[in-house]
Amino acid sequence: MRIDNAGLVEEADKVHDIVKASLQEAARGNRLPPQIRRTFDVEFDEDWNGDLAVWVWLHITDGRNPAPEDVKRLLALTSGIRDELIDAKLRHWPYVDVRPGP
């Protein structure tokens, strides 16, 4: 299944808006782990099954030895964003994770 460029731009805008709003909401609710930078990358491709997929990479400052509470907050944040993206009924299956960022 391929998606045209206009559809991809629309989907990218939707993903960006959802992730940005989720990060802002987490920050307002003091649920944002200290390692999260509030920046992220979005990559569209196919997953290992050949299905359309979108990867959202939340940027972290330091991935070494996070406190157990921070790990729980990171997992809750990434799971929550993934759930919101699934609820948005995207054509791409969402994967959300963290990696060091700028």
22-47 pLDDT tens trace: 999 999 998 888 888 889 999 999 99
Which CATH number characterizes residue 94's domain?
A: 3.30.70
* Alpha-carbon separation of residue 65 from 3, 33, 35, 70, 92 (angstroms): 40, 13, 11, 10, 32
| Domain carrying residue 63 | 5-100
1 has a pLDDT exceeding 60: no
Share of the chain above pLDDT 90, in %: 67
Domains contained in the chain, number: 1
Kindly compute the dihedral angle of the four CA atoms of residues 20, 23, 24, 26, in this order, to the nearest 10 degrees.
Answer: 160
pTM, two decimal places: 0.88
Q: What is the mean pLDDT of residues 66-79?
A: 91
- Give the integer Cα–Cα distance in Å for 29 and 85: 20
The mean of the pLDDT values for the chain is: 90
Residue 25 one-letter amino acid: E
